[in-house]
Amino acid sequence: MNAKEYVNKYKDELINDMMEIIEIKSVREEAKEGMPFGEGPTKALQKGLEIAERYGFKTVNLDNYVGYVEMGEGEDIIGILAHVDVVPEGEGWTSDPYKPEIRDGRLYGRGVADDKGPGIISLHAMRIVRDMGVKLNKRVRLVLGANEETGSACVRYYKAKEGGFQYGFSPDAEFPLIFGEKGGFGGNFSAPLSVDGAKTVIESIAGGVVSNMVCPDVTVYISGEGLEEIKAAFDGYKPHEEITTESSFTDCGKLKLYLKGKAAHASFPEQGVNAISYMIDFLKDHITDSPFVKAYSDLVGLCYYGEKCGAQCEDQYGVLTMNLGVISTENGVATVTVDCRVPITIDFKDQADQVVKNFENAGCTFNVNRLGSSLFIDPESDFIQALYGSYVKVTGDTENKPFTIGGGTYAKTFENVVAFGIEFPGENNQIHMPDENMHLESIYKCCEVFVEAIQRLLAL
């Protein structure tokens, strides 16, 4: 049988296995003994390895940080890097995100496309390559991490213990292939919400889910003078068609403002509607003595590309993007996360120092927690051409070419690893969004592509 026939033979098991692991809510939680990323990610990792063992694969669990599934022999290792943790489900689902279901030929659930589904698809691709009798002159290793969405400590743990790969791919992005990923600059900045003696006081502001998502909603509490006027103005605030607002007074007389925007991945902040930015845009015209509001308005505003704070830059592969993802308040000080995706060929270190100075000059404290390098592999290399050729052979698509992205994947942790799949051109799997899904036919086609890719990498 050929790969397509094997996929058809195993397709029911493939879908059932995907549904089984999706049922586990694997959002990062507080660490417990033996569970570095909490109970959910640990259970999902163990379930992934359990599924692999059903099909006779060797599995190894590295202290619940990361695990792997292996077949073949030899010194060289072909790596396939997927993850079992997910971002929080958020609001707006039309079905339970952890009770996967098939509707209109699509499988719905959190993790279907990012990245539990791709992990299980990769596992079945390995199974098919083995069952086809392909000579396994190298080891093929599916790595399942438990912490990609909140830092990727899992694969750094793997690398420290196991090393790298001759070649590898991460099915955690898009087809046909990604040969470059932007660098990263991130952290958070803080400033007081009010000054001593202010007649109108912002007591707290909170919103956002994770730093690598556009903030979907935000809530503010205000006390003091002029609250009726602020409420009336907020009720009439409609700067964007996708924004909704609500206002009310609490039992103790505080004004509560709620603004709902639209979530999106941090690498494409312009596709979302940042609730933090629009809330600040409103507040700047009604509360003029807030150091945080002024700094945010002056240095971020409604921009997506770092124009106001000195971060803006671009190269032939794209522009810097800037996302403000999570905001919180403690002891009257607001803190907001910053996630910048830096163009591939640009050394951002000096510019990053200047960005920090610009925030500090505006009265903020800026804490840098990330200044990461980019990824670039020659698109004409045998490695890239082997993967791209696999995609073309199965799909027949020669119009879409390998490209670069703003998002970061596991590929950055290793040499000779790139992102390859899982979203096909023209599709929208709602990754990081409500109703995440994948078409069943795309699942099967993806499995075929991976079968072909594994064979071609074995031959290099």
Q: Which of 114, 115, 148, 149 is catalytic?
A: 148
- Mean pLDDT, residues 77-102 taken together: 96
Residues 112 and 12 in one domain: yes
- Reply yes or no on whether the pLDDT at 389 is more than 80: yes
Question: What percentage of the chain has pLDDT greater than the value 90?
Answer: 94
Residues 209 and 358 in one domain: yes
Q: Which of 17, 23, 85, 217 is catalytic?
A: 85
Class of residue 195 by CB neighbours under 10 A (exposed 0-12, middle 13-18, buried 19+): exposed
**Could you give the angle at the alpha carbon of 332 between the alpha carbons of 326 and 333, nearest 5°?**
45
pLDDT at 316: 87
The reply to whether 435 belongs to the active site is no
| Alpha-helix residue ranges (DSSP H) falling in 210-329 | 227-235, 275-283, 291-299
- Mean pLDDT, residues 178-203 taken together: 94
Mean pLDDT value across the chain? 96
- Reply yes or no on whether the pLDDT at 407 is more than 80: no
pLDDT at 83: 98
Q: For residue 448, what are its two tokens?
A: 């075929």
- Mean pLDDT, residues 32-58 taken together: 98
- Reply yes or no on whether the pLDDT at 408 is more than 80: no
Task: Identify the DSSP state of 213.
Answer: B
- Mean pLDDT, residues 214-240 taken together: 96
Specify whether the CB–CB gap between 114 and 439 falls below 8 A. Answer: no
pLDDT at 82: 98
Residues 106 and 29 in one domain: yes
- Coarse DSSP helix, strand, coil percentages of the chain, rounded to the nearest 5 percent: 30, 30, 40
Taking the CA atoms of 152, 155, 159 and 161 in sequence, report the sign of the dihedral they define.
positive
Give 91-99 contacts, CB < 8 A, sequence gap 24+. Answer: 91/216, 91/434, 92/433, 92/434, 92/435, 93/434, 93/435, 94/434, 94/435, 95/435, 97/434, 97/436, 98/22, 98/23, 98/24, 98/25, 99/23
pLDDT band of 317, cuts 50, 70, 90: confident
pLDDT-wise least confident of 34-43, 101-110, 313-322, 447-456 = 313-322
Answer with the one of 325, 340, 372 that is the final residue of a domain: 372
* Domain with 156 in it: 3-182+375-459
- Mean pLDDT, residues 125-130 taken together: 98
DSSP bridge partners of 194 = none
Answer with the one of 355, 372, 389 that is the final residue of a domain: 372
pLDDT at 172: 94
- Reply yes or no on whether the pLDDT at 109 is more than 80: yes
Task: Identify the DSSP state of 200.
Answer: E
Separation of first and last alpha carbons in the chain: 24
Distance CA(411)–CA(170), nearest Å, equals 6
Specify whether the CB–CB gap between 69 and 49 falls below 8 A. Answer: yes
Distance CA(400)–CA(421), nearest Å, equals 13
Peptide bond into 115 cis (omega under 30): yes
Residues 392 and 276 in one domain: no
Q: pTM of the prediction?
A: 0.75
Chain centroid, CA 65 distance in Å: 18
Distance CA(5)–CA(2), nearest Å, equals 5
CATH number at residue 102: 3.40.630.10
Please enumerate in sequence order all residues whose Cβ is within 8 A of that of 446, keeping only pairs 6 or more positions apart, or say none. 118, 121, 171, 175, 421, 422, 424
pLDDT band of 10, cuts 50, 70, 90: very high
Residues 230 and 324 in one domain: yes
Query: Residue with structure tokens 């004004």?
Result: 255
Residues 175 and 242 in one domain: no
Answer with the one of 372, 394, 426 that is the final residue of a domain: 372
Residues 32 and 131 in one domain: yes
The reply to whether 20 belongs to the active site is no
DSSP bridge partners of 223 = 201
Output the furthest CA–CA distance in the chain (Å, rounded): 79
CATH number at residue 331: 3.30.70.360
Number of domains in the chain: 2
Please enumerate in sequence order all residues whose Cβ is within 8 A of that of 337, keeping only pairs 6 or more positions apart, or say none. 186, 187, 188, 208, 211, 324, 325, 326, 327
Residue 426, amino acid:
G
Residues 337 and 412 in one domain: no
Distance CA(421)–CA(446), nearest Å, equals 8
Residues 216 and 175 in one domain: no
- Mean pLDDT, residues 174-191 taken together: 95
- Reply yes or no on whether the pLDDT at 278 is more than 90: yes
- Reply yes or no on whether the pLDDT at 370 is more than 90: no
Residues 333 and 451 in one domain: no
Distance CA(331)–CA(258), nearest Å, equals 21
pLDDT at 379: 93
Query: Residue with structure tokens 């919180």?
Result: 328
pLDDT at 260: 97
